[in-house]
A and B are shown apart, each in its own frame.
Chain A
Amino acid sequence: MGWVKQVGLLVLRAALVAGGVVLATFVLLQLVPGDVATSLLGSRATPEAVAELRQQLGLDLPWYARFGTFVTDLFTGGGESLVNGVPVGELISARAGVTLGIVALAVLFAVVISTALAVVAAANHDRWADQVVRLISTSTLAIPAFLVGMLLILLFGVQLRWFPVGGNTDGIRSLVLPSLTAALAIVPVLTRSLRVQLLEVAGGDFVAAARSAGFSNARVTFAYLLPNAAIPALTLVGLNVAYLVGGTFVVEKVFAIPGLGALMFDSISARDVPVIQGIVVYTAILVVVVNLVTDALVRLIDPRRRTRGSRRTARRDAAGAAGRGTTAGAAEMRSGVSA
Chain B
Amino acid sequence: MTVETISSILSGPGDGGAGGHPTRRRRRRSGTLIAGAVIVGIVLLAAAFAPLVATHDPIVQDLTAGLQPPSAAHWLGTDQLGRDIWSRIVYAARTDLRVGVLAVATPAVLGIALGLLAGYFGGWTDRIASYLVDTNLAFPFYVIVLAMVTLLGTGEGAIYLTFALVAWVNYTRVVGVVTAGFARENWVLAARGGGLGHVRVMVRHVLPNALPQIVVLVVNDIVFVILAVVTLSYLGLGIQPPTPDWGGMISDGQAFLTSRPWISLAPGAALFVTAVGFSLLADGIADVLRDER
Interface string of B211-249 (1 = CB under 8 A from A): 000000000110110010011001101000000000100
14 additional contacts (CB under 8 A) given A199-B17, A331-B176? A20-B138, A126-B25, A141-B223, A142-B223, A146-B231, A146-B235, A189-B4, A242-B141, A246-B144, A264-B143, A283-B143, A287-B137, A332-B11, A339-B139
Contact yes or no, B8 A21, CB < 8 A: no
| Complex interface: chain A residues within 8 A of B139 (CB) | 21, 24, 242, 280, 283-284, 287, 339
Chain B binding site: helix, strand, loop or mixed by DSSP? Answer: helix
Contact yes or no, B176 A327, CB < 8 A: yes
User: Is A276's CB within 8 Å of the partner chain B?
Assistant: yes
CA–CA, A278 to B234, complex, Å?
24
**Residue of B20, B173, B275 touching A330 (CB-CB under 8 A):** B173
User: Is A153's CB within 8 Å of the partner chain B?
Assistant: yes
Closest A residue to B21 by CB, please name it. Answer: A126
Contact yes or no, A32 B152, CB < 8 A: yes
- Output the least CB separation between B79 and chain A (Å): 16
CA–CA, A337 to B12, complex, Å?
19
User: Is A172's CB within 8 Å of the partner chain B?
Assistant: no
| Complex interface: chain A residues within 8 A of B15 (CB) | 196, 199
| Complex interface: chain A residues within 8 A of B8 (CB) | 196
| Complex interface: chain B residues within 8 A of A335 (CB) | 2-4
Pairs A–B under 8 Å by Cβ, sample size 18: A20-B135, A28-B165, A122-B14, A139-B272, A141-B2, A146-B235, A147-B264, A150-B257, A192-B4, A203-B13, A246-B146, A280-B147, A288-B138, A291-B138, A326-B130, A328-B180, A335-B3, A336-B220
Q: Which of A16, A122, A142, A253 has the most CB of B within 10 A?
A: A142
Q: Which of B12, B131, B137, B150 has the most CB of A within 10 A?
A: B137
User: Is A144's CB within 8 Å of the partner chain B?
Assistant: yes
Contact yes or no, B167 A338, CB < 8 A: yes
Contact yes or no, B150 A276, CB < 8 A: yes
Near A by CB (< 8 A), chain B positions 5-44 give: 5-8, 11-15, 17-20, 25, 28
| Complex interface: chain A residues within 8 A of B177 (CB) | 327-328, 331-332
- Output the least CB separation between B34 and chain A (Å): 15
CA–CA, A24 to B20, complex, Å?
49
CA–CA, A51 to B126, complex, Å?
45
- Output the least CB separation between A256 and chain B (Å): 11
Interface string of A263-297 (1 = CB under 8 A from B): 01100100101001101100111011001000000
Binding-face segment, B61-69, B70-78, B201-209, B276-284? B276-284
Q: Which of A127, A146, A200, A324 has the most CB of B within 10 A?
A: A146
- Output the least CB separation between B234 and chain A (Å): 5
